[in-house]
């Protein structure tokens, strides 16, 4: 019998996507995302380096979504307790 899979990000109860992290791994991923966004602000001020700032922000966000997709519960539309 395969070991039970532990998701870093559980599915939201309502709507589509993921809720708050359920493990320290998920919290570490969120902390890394926040650090990348802070670094983006420091390296590319939005007023002077708008395109570079936006490119880095989109890259960091895409990376977080990829981690959620790979390590989170499969996303689908949910209406509450319909499991």
pLDDT tens readout for residues 10-28:
988 888 999 999 999 999 9
Domain coordinates of the chain in residue numbers? 45-73
- State pLDDT tens for residues 26-42: 999 999 999 999 999 99
The pLDDT of residue 68 is above 80: yes
Say yes or no to pLDDT of 5 above 90.
no
Share of the chain above pLDDT 70, in %: 90
pTM: 0.84
In angstroms, the CA 61 to CA 37 distance is 9
| 66-76 b/e (C-beta count within 10 Å ≥ 16 → b) | ebbeebbbeee
């Amino acid at each position: 019998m395969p070991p039970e899979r532990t998701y870093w990000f559980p599915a939201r109860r309502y709507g589509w996507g993921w809720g708050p992290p359920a493990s320290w791994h998920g919290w570490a991923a969120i902390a890394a995302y926040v650090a990348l966004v802070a670094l983006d602000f420091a390296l590319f001020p939005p007023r002077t380096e708008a395109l570079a700032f936006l490119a880095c922000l989109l890259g960091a966000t895409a990376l977080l979504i990829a981690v959620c997709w790979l390590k989170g519960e499969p996303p689908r539309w949910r209406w509450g307790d319909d499991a």
